[in-house]
Amino acid sequence: MPLIFLLLFLLPIPSFADVSPTITSFTASPSAINSGYTTILSWTMEGSSGNNLYFNCPLGVKIIKTDGTTFPCNQRIPASSGISDSIGFNIINVSGGTVVINATVYPKDLNGADYDAGAKSVYITANTTPHPITDFYSSATTVVATTTVTLSWVGHDVSGTNLQFDCIAGVQVFVSGDSTQTSLPCNTPVFSSSLGMSGSSSFTFTNSSLFATSLRATILPMIATGLYDATHALSLSLDIAGKPVQPSILIDSFNVSNTQISSGNSLVFSWSAPKASGVNFQITCSNSVSVGTTTSSKLPCNTPAFSRSLPTISTITLYFLNNFNSYQYLSLYLLPQNADGTYDGTKSKKLDITVIPAGQNSASPPAATPPSVQTGEAPQKIIKTIVFTQSLKKGSRGNHVTGLQKFLAQNQTLYPEGLITGYFGLATERAIKRFQEKYNIAKQGEAGYGTVGPKTRAKLNSLENF
């Protein structure tokens, strides 16, 4: 008996130091929540002097303790020193989608070091915040150039936002008060640094088109630095007014020394248009008559005659040659020039000139017969300078309008004015109406009358002869 007692005395007695620290239980309740709601983490430990808690957070996730303090993500943070504990956490998810968050409790040994082998993890599913932006509004929805418009928004849960504008041809956006007047990028977040969760920002807009256009502005909730959630953004539409129509440019006077001229002689033209940027001549085409600044030169017809604009108040001498044996008639237009360098045919003034064949007197000229009334002639081959692909209407400008006017000017019945200005004015509209009626495309009161739409474009592109 004494020997047994001695053996028992000599055997090692287990100590607390020999027990491995372990998390015996770890739960999250509930384990699936909506953004902004609370889950309770509970755990018990054995053989541990404390613990560290770790949240593995995806982008766009924040952990908030129920006392309102932020609990850092992706770091081991001391949670408690008790053998068991429960802590509530609010989970904010602005990632734009449902995420799974891994939470792990690491027990500490008696020396205070984490014992990873005894750790336990739970998984929490968190839905995204459904409305990270709750309101987005503008101080004005119809915007005139240089007018300041303020965009305001109210956010929820997000730590930042950014603005984005669609790309629209001719439209530029500027930060109000920016002395550099640098236009903002489009179809991408505007600012390199995020804006506040709620706030406002002011802008000015320009539109180089003559027509108003709709521009979409979007407020983007931030997921993380430089990363934004387009699926939960809010947008609004701004109507950007077109470029202001320039005031009417009036020609005060346009005169000629005589309205009849014998072939080989000259006429003196004078004019006054002080409100224009300049002027130019346009001469109707005639196979029998040439007009030039000398007897051996010839100015182009049905297009601005001079490569550079003429002074707004001046005179010019032009020579006329009639290569036919009968009286010939043509018109000369004075075109005022706009500030942008284009010529406005709708504000032009016209002089009609009779050119008498060489060797005939001008005592009793025959009645003028406008070249637009021509009958019984062979079909006229059309010279095309462009394939029409754009819809055009009154107010349109550009190469397609110029090509359209050149096309129509080849038939003086359709387009007696023959003005080639690059601007779709009243004269061009009348010519298109005649064209549509001639080829049974449209008539007064029908949709598309006076405009170049799909049917009119198809006819323009297919027509070979007038």
Residues 152 and 231 both lie in one domain: yes
Looking only at the bridges linking them, the beta strands covering 199-207 and 161-165 are: unpaired
Q: Would residue 374 count as lying in a domain?
A: no
Residue 5 lies in a domain: no
**Predicted pLDDT at 374:** 38
Considering only CA atoms, which of 194, 93, 204 is closest in space to residue 147? 204
Same domain for 211 and 263: no
Pull the structure tokens for residue 124: 């929490």
Q: Would residue 450 be called left, alpha or beta, if left means φ above 0 and alpha means ψ between -120 and 50 degrees?
A: left
Mean pLDDT for each consecutive 10-residue tract of the chain (466 residues)? 48 56 94 95 91 94 92 91 88 95 94 92 95 93 86 93 93 89 92 94 87 90 93 92 70 92 94 92 86 91 91 95 86 89 84 87 50 44 79 88 87 82 87 92 91 92 80
Residues 72 and 141 in one domain: no
> Residues 141, 213: one domain?
yes
User: What is the pLDDT, as a whole number, of residue 451?
Assistant: 95
- Looking at the domain assignment, is residue 449 inside a domain? yes
Domains identified in the chain, total number: 4
CB-CB contact of 352 with 331 (8 Å): yes
What are the structure tokens assigned to 55, written together? 């949240």
User: 13 lies in a domain?
Assistant: no
How many C-beta atoms lie closer than 10 Å to residue 179's C-beta? 5
Whether 120 and 139 map to the same domain: the answer is: no
Are 348 and 413 within one domain?
Answer: no
Cβ–Cβ < 8 Å for 198, 148 = no
Per-residue pLDDT at 248: 62
Same domain? 109 vs 152: no
Residues 129 and 90: beta-carbon distance below 8 Å? no
In a domain, 1, yes or no: no
Residue 285 pLDDT: 79
Tell me what pLDDT residue 362 has: 58
Same domain, 59 and 149: no
- Give the per-residue pLDDT at 245: 61
Domain assignment present for residue 191? The answer is yes
Q: Say what angle helices 426-438 and 454-462 make with each other, to 10 degrees.
A: 70
Res 307: pLDDT: 92
Residues 118, 169 within the same domain: no
For 335, the domain range is 253-356
Whether 91 and 153 map to the same domain: the answer is: no
Q: Quick check: is 3 in a domain? A: no
Q: Is residue 4 part of a domain?
A: no
